Structure 1
């Protein structure tokens, strides 16, 4: 079969081939007896296109006719599942490419995941594939719940859907287990990516965004092969309003364990992924259950309009638990409005506490009209989302009909008020699958587990607010991750004097000072005006405090002379190879209200990471830091500072004076501008501390290291 889009360029052709692979009209399975069952499973899943089995040694397997070769197929298939050993798979892929096949799943392991020999095989596989889309190798393949295609090696429990979520995972076993869950998650696609030889997580996100039936995307990743491509795909998802939910595993430290600057020890890989996800409006979850419950809410219930929740419970205990969990996730629980309160007072007994969350007691239980009034009274204030806490008893109790009445009334009220709705069972196993399915059909997300359910609502609200903030601020162009230069293997550490001079050119405020010989330090102090500080300046002493190379609050020439002598002796003991030839004498800054560390660390995948935190000599002990990826906006910096543990000091804590937040932000942006201008060679940068005063801010120490 001749491709109808042969005129497309390389990247466009690969994207088109990937779309055809994921949404095939014809499928071939290449392998032996173990794969023959996949043909029947594809039929059982409802796939209506052509399905063939290719095996060179058997005329039929389990009653299914075998084609002897790729050339023996009636025409080039859209999708092929290859279940042969790694070395043989290369030849099969080459035959498919020559025949004009669109894409293939390579099930075999033994490629780049096993070392250099496997990496060589994978390179040969890519060469054989040409413009074909190759999912894997070393993967389970995919399920398409929309058209029933199942390029999958084993049984699965997925159901056909009209729309739903697309889930991408690097773990084949997790993909298999996800396919077997009974949590009413509508899987439009379930994809195992394996080694991501040609089809990466980013390419899959792009492909799914082209399908309006995909309402949310879940990703389980151990690591990203291309952060920039992932950022571009996630930005596109944000524009289209398709939420991405991420489960990140395999956390490890990036770079050397012993780093030159404080910043290097503060910016680990998980911190960088966290910064990336927040920047792109990606919801992060901690475990697989959180992944599926959050996706379920987003795909069935939708994105809440705001951060307000109306909640109903069948007991005061459940209502109290909801209130605690909502507060932990930043969910607002607005009070019942006057009209709703009046309705509830007429309906409920006098002892009922009219509040949100509402314990509606047993009075309306079993009455469709009473439950409708109850739900409408609470939901009439147009919150962003509504939840009913409902655990279904065993069927043998005969009480499930009353549960159905309550759930139906809630679903009807949610629909009429046009808000996001969820039924949440406190205990996951007290949500019967048939009731969950009925709620899902009504557009109500059946969430299993109270903690997971409330967390899902909080995450969906955060996404809606984060997306609105980015879109309204026209900040989409700022979401790309700055590309940084790659390490040359050699770098130069600039001393404090040179580092401050370079940063000052970009707007960083530094103290007035002079760089002099040790014997000239007292006179320099006199010229600057006391009090002053004195420091040994040497590229070999990046951290001067430990070497005793700093003296503060010197009030006379004699004090400066004595301090210089002490520092010379201390450095001689601490670092005998360092010769003290220069002293930096600076005017002492006023007492700060807050000390900050501002650092930049280069990571070749993530670009440049800006680290902000509580500064000074105890920076690593306190560990109060946050990380942003460059480029960065002023509003991001301001928000990050205020969210630090020491953030309240910036706005006045317990009656104390407010620090100059605007000055802090200006100086941090100056550091960011320097970093962006030197992105091709900046290795790392520390300003510690940046003193934030009542009026102004000043950087009293700095370190810059550039490749060169």
Structure 2
């Protein structure tokens, strides 16, 4: 979170102007298409820009008028008395090209476009033409199809629509690819105050990544919220998230479009169960980005992060005026994995002095008894809970209402505790439709954010603690694998067969069974003799990726007679090429995967393995390189994790060997991942004697080459 040290670090970087300053912090603006007709975007954009106290120069452009809403109006940009930083094109689509060219000739550095940039006709390329012209001129554009933006610290609103109230400055930055999400969050609840809110629209020349980068340079920014459909500039997006991580500024994202459509096209089990969203999930996990699923949750997170102090160590301490609602909160917090502070005996003694008979000094705490002198007792109890060394955040769960003396007493107590404490204090309502708008705003502005809804509040608290606990990956500096270049040369030629896949794993330090390829019965029997019975027999026919589907895997063949019969049957059905392999020890089946995303590159997957991989879909993903701590975190996040500790008489497995195998896959990703489309290690059998890769599938078909665009450095400059 934004601390004095992190703010100093950012302020030291703000001396040079950011390239988005003319767009988001302009000194002068001209509004093309201004209108005197009420209730139109051309009129609203002038009124919005004037209302909140922007001190820069404002000009209206329309040849019909001399003045619009008290702003001097000129026939065109050429007639202005000065060159403006920013031109707002409040024009219909058919006039956008001319308007953009006028802005470029005028010398403006930035443009905002509200219109969709679509013209009639299936093959219209208006958006492409505008983008090309703007890039050539080096001009930055907010939009098109944008609702505009607000910069409350400057008193600036650039939008064809406006809130009913003046926008007070705060610490949250909102960057949204949904115009409706922009107007919903920026223009309604006055508790949520912004350093900036931006409707990015079609992102013709300025992407979400650019806006994040700009926001991180603003000293007011305490948290960044994203409503994200896609990252149009993947490399810049990754860099912006890394910058936020480095500066300890939380990023909260509502990612939409999280389907598993790609499963139908995946060549490996790993690609199938990862789904379309896995690359984003892995990237977010790497940089400590926090995720939500609804606008209510996004607003709750932005409100909490932008108003409270950083979380302390420990867990949640909560105070309630209802035993039943306390149980509801406790149930949901447990479900969400939120720990409660384990309060000390001293804290319990402090609580007991202020509780009526029948109430126990616990955490979570039911404080309501007779109601006698309740404000004094509530304050003392909340103070004791927040003071406890194991309390990270103190939260009052209270259904506050306008005009209630009980509400006044509870909230006054919370405000006083928040002012005294170095830890965060918040208030969460258990019902979001309360009649409490006035008191909720008053309490929030006094320093105790009021978050509506039990689940929304607890979700924000969970993310506050998760952000506190996030630590960047610190991979060990490992020398390049001596066989790296050999494998790169081989992978360029195409997919590996299973024997080659196992050899690749072995060269990177993952244990594999002894195995031989054979194409005759005699060679098959000889291979088994060299290995020793029992053995496994697998088809090595080209093109069969999942060998168990056509009954191409037979296990535990005990002697030559069983092997002979098995080979003759398999050869008659699937062809003579086979793999004879050592039988693996029994253990817990894990799957490891490597998938190369066309936007973000390779990422890793750890999952429940064997036949359960697609049934349980129990998986975790990450971006290489990893450290041992992160490999352990991936293991611990699996639902089958308890099986690795040994159950029902089974010995505990070698979890450290599994972590080392994950780190080896991380090395493969770093050195070979650009040449591998998908890779399955399934199953990887983990037992007391180590981790043993039984099967390997390596697919090398290439993604189409990246088209020139936002990924090119030249296009961003």
Q: TM-score, normalised by structure 1?
A: 0.89
Partner deviation per Cα, 1:527-578 (whole Å, 9 max, x = no partner)? 221111222212222222222222211222222111100111232xxxxxxx
Which residue is 1:4 aligned to?
none
380, 386, 396: which is aligned to 2:394? 386
Alignment CA distance shift 1:389-1:540 (3 Å): closer
Q: Quick check: 311-320 or 267-276, which moved more?
A: 267-276
Partner residue of 2:584? 589
Query: Greater CA deviation, 32-41 or 197-206?
Result: 32-41
> Which residue in 1 is equivalent to 2:525?
522
Q: 2:621 aligns with which of 624, 627, 634?
A: 627
- Kindly state the Cα deviation for residue 28 of structure 1 after the two structures are TM-superposed: 1.3
RMSD over equivalenced CA pairs, Å:
2.7
| Separation of aligned partners in 2, 1:237 and 1:112 | 38
Q: 1:315 aligns with which of 315, 322, 345?
A: 322
Residue 79 of structure 1: how far off its partner (Å): 2.3
Segments of 5+ residues of structure 2 without an aligned counterpart are: 1-13, 479-491, 703-717
1:463 aligns with 2:467: yes
C-alpha change, 1:346 and 1:113, in structure 2 (3 Å) is farther
Q: Provide the rounded CA distance (Å) in 1 between the counterparts of 2:125 and 2:348.
A: 68
1:477-501 CA distances to partner (integer Å, 9 max, x unpaired)?
A: 99xxxxxxxxxxx983321112212
Question: Which deviates further from its counterpart, 90-99 or 229-238?
Answer: 90-99
* Residue 36 (structure 1) aligns with: 43
- Corresponding residue for residue 415 of structure 1: 419
Partner Cα separation in structure 2 for residue 254 and residue 165 of structure 1: 34
The Cα shift of 1:595 comes to 0.8
Q: Which runs of 5+ in 1 are unaligned?
A: 1-11, 479-489, 572-578
2:657 to 659, 663, 674: 663
1:337 to 330, 344, 359: 344
Structure 1 Cα separation of the partners of residues 578 and 439 of structure 2: 77
Alpha-carbon distance in 2 for matches of 1:697, 1:355: 45
2:228 counterpart (221, 224, 229): 221
Measured in 2, the distance between the counterparts of 1:120 and 1:334 equals 54
Q: Are the counterparts in 1 of residues 320 and 366 from structure 2 also a CA contact under 8 Å?
A: yes
**In the TM superposition, what is the alpha-carbon distance from 1:505 to its structure 2 partner?**
1.6
Deviations 1:174-232 (A, max 9, x none): 21222332251012211100011111111111111111111111100111112221121
2:555: which partner in 1?
A: 552
Deviation of the 1:143 alpha carbon: 1.0
- Tell me: CA distance 1:101–1:664, structure 2 relative to 1, closer, same or farther (3 Å): same
| Deviations 1:129-178, CA, capped at 9 Å, x for gaps | 62222111111110111111111001224543343211011111221222
Change beyond 3 A, Cα 1:138–1:671:
same
Question: How far is 1:439 from its partner?
Answer: 1.9
Contact kept in structure 2, 1:427 and 1:450, CA below 8 Å: yes
Counterpart secondary structure, 1:617: helix
For residues 428-577 of structure 1, what are the structure 2 equivalents within 5 Å?
428-430=432-434, 432-466=436-470, 469-470=471-472, 474=474, 492-519=494-521, 520-571=523-574
User: Distance between the aligned counterparts of 2:371 and 2:664, measured in 1?
Assistant: 62
Which residue does 1:9 correspond to in 2?
Answer: none
Match of 2:311 in 1: 304
In structure 2, distance between residues paired with 1:115 and 1:597: 46
Q: 1:357 and 1:256, CA in 2 relative to 1: closer, same or farther beyond 3 A?
A: closer
Contact 1:76 1:96 in 2 (8 A): no
Offset of residue 378 of structure 1? 2.4
Task: Work out the CA distance in 2 between the residues paired with 1:367 and 1:544.
Answer: 70
CA displacement, residues 349-373 of structure 1 (integer Å, 9 cap, x when unaligned): 2211221111111445555433332
Alignment partners' CA distance in 2, 1:91 and 1:518: 75
Equivalenced residues, count: 670
Deviates more, 1:557-566 or 1:534-543: 534-543
Q: Secondary structure at the match of 2:277?
A: helix
2:287 is matched with which residue: 263, 266, 280? 280
2:301 maps to which residue? 294
Provide the C-alpha distance between the structure 1 equivalents of 2:25 and 2:284, rounded to a whole number of angstroms. Answer: 29
Secondary structure of the residue aligned to 2:673 is coil
> Do 1:535 and 1:585's aligned partners in 2 also have CA atoms closer than 8 Å?
yes
Judging changes above 3 Å, is the alpha-carbon distance between structure 1 residues 508 and 114 closer, same or farther for their aligned structure 2 residues? farther
CA distance in 1, matches of 2:82, 2:476: 44
Q: Deviations over 1:630-660 (max 9, x none)?
A: 3333322221122211111222235531111
- Evaluate the alpha carbon distance shift between residue 585 and residue 269 of structure 1 in structure 2; reply closer, same or farther with a 3 A threshold: same
